[in-house]
Structure 1
Amino acid sequence: MRRRSLILAAVPAGLVTLAGCGDDSSDSSGKVDSSASPSASAPSAAPAPKIVDGPLPAITAGTKFGEKPTVAKGSGAPSDQLAVKTVIAGGGRTVAEGDYIQAQYLGQIWDTGKVLDNSYDRGAPLLTQLAQGSTMEGWRYALTGKKAGSRVQFAVPPTWGFGKEGNAEAGVKGTDTLVFVFDVQDTFNARSSAEGKKVPQDDAAVPKVGTNTDGKAPSVEIPKADPPKKLVSGYVIEGDGEAVAADDTVLVQYKGVVWDTGKEFDSTYQRSALTSFSLQQVVKGWAQGLTGKKTGSRVVIVIPPDLGYGDRPPAGSGIEKDSTMVFTVDLLAKM
């Protein structure tokens, strides 16, 4: 797994009904492994901060969107509220509370200028949900309402950061104000869909999946035939993002149905909530079916029993023993 942020709280994972793989060695917790990264502060009991203009230290180099910034030390005393500045205004979708954002970022300590963490050097953007308890409160307040394509600089006092306890592992004292620069690349919510080119669905032996991109669940038409014995995975809509690796954590919309009956047994669309999970913690068919696929895509996956649940489906899932499962998956982003 890639090194996770020292500042990011663990992203809650969904796919609870998919978390138990078809063998005894699988992890059935349904949660992303967060052992490499301590959580951000607990949900703040403090009232919402006032958003003020400053003070904020100067960005002295790396001033373009997407460039790693160099930020000066803070001068004088920082505000006890949340100082926020849109350095570069983007024209993309507006970030709402509860959204997942994809962003490059850098964080450092006001007084010393010590850089705590940055995603630019890792070569992989951050993916986090701006929801209470999912990430730092200062991030949630500072980034909600901003647009994708924006560079946002802000200073987070302890009240909306790590609190009076600080974070020893990250090197943050309980009195430290933290300074962040975020390049917000994209934002995702329950209405997000794949974006790309439609791929012909010519194989009559493979379920046909709807190509709507309005955030609603696509249709799934099961062929009137026996299911395939081997895994099937193919594009319905092919995006132009990065290919997903076997150890990546991904953000998805999905719907699952049983081949024999066409009955839906699980769906993020019904819950109106996206799901983030590690490909190392789902059934083998999911991991194999999504590895190598590009973000931004819609993928149809047909999972035979030996790569799904076999004769041990989750209790109450509505999946019978030795069922073949069919999924439509919108692969929105990866961590």
Structure 2
Amino acid sequence: MLAACGSSSKSSSAGPSAAGTSAATGTAAATGGAASSSPAASGSGTATTTDVGIKVTGGFGVKPTVTIPSKAAPTTLVKQVLTEGTGATVAKGDTLVANYVGQTWAPKNGKPNVFDSSFDRGNAAAFAIGVGRVIPGWDKTLVGQKLGTRLVMALPPAEGYGSQGQSSAGISGTDTLVFVVDLLKTFKPDASAPGTVVSDLPASGLPKITNVPGKAPTILSTAGVKAPSKPVSTLLVKGSGDKIDATKTLVMQIVETDLATGKKTHSSWGQAPQTVAAQNVLTVVSKLAGQNVGSRALVLVPASAATAATASQAARPASPAQVLIADVVGEF
């Protein structure tokens, strides 16, 4: 719901997903979020040649240039650490924040085929790792690595997009894929952030909820709450982390409930936090503007009619009025 609003603003890539390709580090303020112990960005002249002949120029934090040898691609998954990080170990089920460049081993039309780069987008990717949300080679390679690591991997088709390839990215069913990946941050499925309950909440007009900072909220009853004509938000918890930066991507725990029936329709708690461009969030949840990481807000969202697909936006089905509780547990 949040990602669908304010779609002209920058949003986070989901990384090389199992279904298809996607078109700066700091301290994570979340409990259950891990900051990378990243080396300082190295100069662009740093160069390493891997055991299979892939040359990577540029250190951690710098967009790499990848030079692939003219010999045949390896037929099994190959990985090599270029910079060893000292941060937390990436675990299965973590939401991993990373920068990466993806390139096919074979050139296209005589030129290197760089099919995806979060460095070029200027925004890191975030995705659940080790649980089938990304291509198999990423799940197998990145779980167990430490934050602050830069590594290179060569993935034969079975570890990438399989025999069907990914035509929209210029990837055939026989292409071996080469990725250089910088591991930045992780957030656990139950990631939370500290804050203090707002003391002067309205006495009426809101659903009955549980509201304990750092724990999943529950919407107990929506009886008597009127559907709004535009989003109406209320701050529930004041966070104690860094100031929310409207230019970044927010890591959020979300609970959604149908306003008319009081039935929960979605919760990210214990599953995987969601990542949404801050500008999109603040368009809907205005009370989070000027607040800190760790803040929680409730928003009453009006019903919306179905919309047809356009050149820049997918079709949206009709949606009933919703109650949304959003916790900001981190940003990047």
TM-score, length basis structure 1: 0.61
**TM alignment of 1:77-226, pairs within 5 A:** 77-112=72-107, 113-131=112-130, 133-193=132-192, 195=193, 198-199=195-196, 201-205=198-202, 209-212=211-214, 216-218=215-217
Q: Which residue of 2 aligns with 1:55?
A: 52
Select the structure that is richer in strand: 2
Q: Contact 1:85/1:152 (CA < 8 Å) preserved in 2?
A: yes
Q: What amino acid sits opposite 2:213 in the alignment?
A: T
Query: Structure 1 residues 82, 132: CA separation in 2 closer, same or farther (over 3 Å shift)?
Result: same
Aligned equivalents of 1:303, 1:202: Cα separation in 2: 20
Uncovered stretches (5+) of structure 2, i.e. residues with no partner? 1-6, 24-49, 305-319
Shift of 1:131: 5.0
Shift of 1:107: 0.9
Shift of 1:179: 1.1
**TM alignment of 1:2-17, pairs within 5 A:** 2=10, 8-9=16-17
What are the superposed Cα offsets for residues 64-89 of structure 1, whole Å, 9 maximum, x if unpaired? Answer: 3x211112223633322211122223
Q: What amino acid sits opposite 2:66 in the alignment?
A: V
Residue 231 (structure 1) aligned with residue 232 (structure 2): yes
Q: Which residue of 1 aligns with 2:294?
A: 297
**TM alignment of 1:262-301, pairs within 5 A:** 265=264, 268=267, 272-274=270-272, 276=274, 288-289=284-285, 293=289, 296-301=293-298
Q: Contact 1:95/1:143 (CA < 8 Å) preserved in 2?
A: yes
Uncovered stretches (5+) of structure 1, i.e. residues with no partner? 12-33, 38-52, 310-322
SS in 1 for 2:327: strand
Aligned equivalents of 1:237, 1:254: Cα separation in 2: 16
Residue 243 (structure 1) aligned with residue 246 (structure 2): yes
Q: Contact 2:101/2:114 (CA < 8 Å) preserved in 1?
A: yes
What are the superposed Cα offsets for residues 210-264 of structure 1, whole Å, 9 maximum, x if unpaired? Answer: 223xxx4257899xx999988233362434353278xx8x653234579999x78
Q: Contact 1:295/1:334 (CA < 8 Å) preserved in 2?
A: no
Shift of 1:158: 1.4
Over aligned residues, Cα RMSD in angstroms? 4.6
SS in 2 for 1:120: helix
Query: Structure 1 residues 277, 291: CA separation in 2 closer, same or farther (over 3 Å shift)?
Result: farther
Shift of 1:138: 1.3
Residue 253 (structure 1) aligned with residue 253 (structure 2): yes
Shift of 1:298: 3.1
Q: What amino acid sits opposite 2:212 in the alignment?
A: G
Q: Contact 1:209/1:300 (CA < 8 Å) preserved in 2?
A: no
TM-score, length basis structure 2: 0.61
Aligned equivalents of 1:35, 1:290: Cα separation in 2: 32
Query: Structure 1 residues 326, 202: CA separation in 2 closer, same or farther (over 3 Å shift)?
Result: farther
Query: Structure 1 residues 108, 297: CA separation in 2 closer, same or farther (over 3 Å shift)?
Result: same
Aligned equivalents of 2:247, 2:236: Cα separation in 1: 14
Aligned equivalents of 2:104, 2:21: Cα separation in 1: 24
Shift of 1:96: 2.5
Shift of 1:118: 0.6
Query: Structure 1 residues 81, 237: CA separation in 2 closer, same or farther (over 3 Å shift)?
Result: farther
Q: Select the residue among 326, 329, 332 that pairs with 1:329.
A: 326
Q: Contact 1:104/1:119 (CA < 8 Å) preserved in 2?
A: yes
Shift of 1:137: 1.4
Aligned equivalents of 2:185, 2:292: Cα separation in 1: 13
